[in-house]
Chain A
Amino acid sequence: DSGVTQTPKHLITATGQRVTLRCSPRSGDLSVYWYQQSLDQGLQFLIQYYNGEERAKGNILERFSAQQFPDLHSELNLSSLELGDSALYFCASSGGQRVNIQYFGAGTRLSVL
């Protein structure tokens, strides 16, 4: 158990809809990262937050947004969903003594029909 919790595990929705994925980082970790893994692809970095502020951004679509709350949990919002957004979405956190190691949650599998 990595200590990173992601909910829900599975999400099925229709094109054009909006969904919210939630992540609770390991206790004490200030950084949260979001990654997308499409079929047979590596994990693609989307965005990072550190203690509530955006720290780094990857190839995140404008239809996607994220935030980190004062209790350090994070949410990834995906809107105007398209079939191609179907993927596994992973959250990771880092902090403490090994600040350069990211610990991953089990992911949310999003299916857009």
Chain B
Amino acid sequence: DQQVKQNSPSLSVQEGRISILNCDYTNSMFDYFLWYKKYPAEGPTFLISISSIKDKNEDGRFTVFLNKSAKHLSLHIVPSQPGDSAVYFCAASDWPGTYKYIFGTGTRLKVLA
């Protein structure tokens, strides 16, 4: 039972353009969402998060949008840079109910120079 889904295994975007990564979830008890970035041979690195009381959170070039009614969140990267090429994981938790994250399977982003 995949509670967090990233339906696009890969995405290619031209440098300077917007990258949009999507994530859907099924559990309405999730109230905290995170995006992690992972380079090869490294562990996931925290990128940005959003709590269910907000619908948008921005940090520099990265913005996360949350649509609770659709159980959908997205990560926007503007402008995309070649260094953004990595695997992006969406994660959810019912913080502070439990402490575990439920991860999606990831989207491999390639930013073309």
Contacts and interface: CB of A to CB of B under 8 A. Distances in A.
Interaction A to B:
yes
A100 interface: yes
Interface of A: 2, 4, 6, 31, 33, 35, 40-45, 48, 50, 55-56, 58, 90, 92, 94, 100-107
Interface residues of B, number: 26
B100 A31 contact: no
Contacts, number: 60
The CB with the most chain A CB atoms within 10 A, among B36, B44, B102, is that of: B44
Nearest to B44: A104
Interface of B: 4, 6, 32, 34, 36, 41-46, 49, 89, 91, 93, 95-96, 98-106
Given A100-B96, A105-B43, A106-B41, A43 B101 contact: yes
A48 B100 contact: yes
